Amino acid sequence: MVVVLIPAYKPDEKLLPLLRALSAQQRYARLLVVDDGGGDAYAPIFAQAKEIPGVAVVRHAVNLGKGRALKTGINEAMLLCPGAAVVTADADGQHTPEDIARIADALEAAGDSTIVLGKRVFGKGTPAKSFLGNTITRFFFAMSTGTRVYDTQTGLRGLPAALLPQMLRVPGERYEYEMNVLLQAPRDGAAFREVEIRTIYENNNAGSHFHPVRDALLVFTRILSFAASSLVCFGVDYLGYALLMEIRGLAPEMAYAGARVVSSILNFAINRNLVFRARGGALWKQALGYYALVLLVMLLGTLGVRLGTDVLHINSYVTKILVDVLLSAVSFLGQRLVIFRPGGKAAS
């Protein structure tokens, strides 16, 4: 049982033919349109939509954004058709009735924790903004979550019924909501399956609301959070390093190891609870893996400090900074891929 959800803000003439074609398929529990506060000028379109068999319209009095419209529609779908899955589609003609049906079929055949994504193929004729945006976000999404998704910007998505309650809790009221859903899914143990669909751009995709910098930053959030955590702990670590050298008179490599023990405790707590949000995992396993990584990084760091100070004759404080910058990438990938790895897997 599937509900098709279409958020619509100031829709044009493409919406009604789409709804009629979907209604003619006679395979959906409900066609649900959310009028996201387009105003009186668009009321006739939604009035005609209500006359199409199987269509229900939910209205926002004012424009609240696509994210809120999707949440409103998901909530309404759960009330009208308990236990139904939801396929979201755009109202601008980019998604064909045939592709919507293919996503619905794939969704019904997939597991209860699999999100089905309509995958556009970006080749010749793709608008530069769409190509650039998907390339940037695809790379950082894989870096941030450990999960590969080819088309991170697709609005044609199949959401299983079991995951709908979590979808209502995902933050975001406007276009960032769709990216937040993808970022949150692996943390909830969800998998992705991508189904190839037609690639349609109207007027060179002039109506797209994608912003490469904004969306890249959304995907980059976890990496930025990791960097902030590392910066805080770096301050603690560097202070301890200086104190152990200047006050206790320890050799640079010994001071490095001692300071890292202290800062690692703080870093583990921040990364587990705030950066990777992996509080659902076994604490002892995560701690064991984390400190195995700490020992590896400490070993590499100690060797690096000795190489920098004794062999290359670089200032000990400068050496410390260089070594930590190089090892930060090792630490991030180790924590994201192994220690705090999300439970979801990608499928195609």
pLDDT in tens, the chain (348 residues): 999 999 999 998 889 999 999 999 999 999 999 999 989 999 999 999 999 999 999 999 999 999 999 999 999 999 999 999 999 999 988 899 999 999 999 999 998 899 999 998 776 656 666 666 677 777 777 776 778 888 888 899 999 999 999 999 988 888 778 888 988 888 778 899 999 988 765 554 444 444 555 555 655 565 666 667 767 877 888 888 888 888 777 888 888 888 878 888 888 888 787 777 666 678 888 889 988 988 888 888 889 888 988 888 888 888 888 888 888 878 877 887 788 766 544 444
Tell me, yes or no, whether 214 and 317 share the same domain. Answer: no
Q: How far apart are CA 124 and CA 40, in angstroms?
A: 40
**Are residues 14 and 94 in contact, defined by beta-carbon separation less than 8 angstroms?**
no
Domain containing residue 296:
222-341
Burial 262-277 (b: 16+ CB within 10 A, else e): bbbeebbebbbeebbe
Structure tokens at 265: 């405790």
The Cβ-side half-sphere exposure at 273, using a 13 Å CA radius, reads: 6
What was the pLDDT predicted at 202? 57
Judge whether 8 lies within some domain. Answer: yes
Tell me, yes or no, whether 195 and 257 share the same domain. Answer: no
Tell me, yes or no, whether 248 and 293 share the same domain. Answer: yes
Strand 30-36 and strand 55-60: the pairing is: parallel
Tell me, yes or no, whether 56 and 203 share the same domain. Answer: yes
Crossing angle for the helix pair 212-219 and 221-246, nearest 10 degrees? 60
Judge whether 347 lies within some domain. Answer: no
Judge whether 346 lies within some domain. Answer: no
Tell me, yes or no, whether 77 and 165 share the same domain. Answer: yes
What was the pLDDT predicted at 167? 93
Q: Which residues neighbour 325 within 8 Å (Cβ) at sequence distance 6 or greater?
A: none
Pick the last residue of a domain from 187, 219, 251: 219
Of 30, 20, 117, which Cα lies nearest the Cα of 78? Answer: 30
Structure tokens at 152: 């991170």
Tell me, yes or no, whether 189 and 227 share the same domain. Answer: no
CATH code of residue 170: 3.90.550.10
Q: Distance between terminal CA atoms of the chain?
A: 22
Tell me, yes or no, whether 237 and 214 share the same domain. Answer: no
Tell me, yes or no, whether 257 and 276 share the same domain. Answer: yes
Pick the last residue of a domain from 219, 234, 256: 219
What was the pLDDT predicted at 114? 95
Tell me, yes or no, whether 214 and 246 share the same domain. Answer: no
Tell me, yes or no, whether 274 and 303 share the same domain. Answer: yes
Judge whether 263 lies within some domain. Answer: yes
Pick the last residue of a domain from 189, 219, 249: 219
Tell me, yes or no, whether 229 and 168 share the same domain. Answer: no
Judge whether 348 lies within some domain. Answer: no
What was the pLDDT predicted at 66? 92
Q: How far apart are CA 226 and CA 327, in angstroms?
A: 13
Crossing angle for the helix pair 128-145 and 221-246, nearest 10 degrees? 50
Query: For the chain, what is the domain count?
Result: 2
Tell me, yes or no, whether 210 and 230 share the same domain. Answer: no
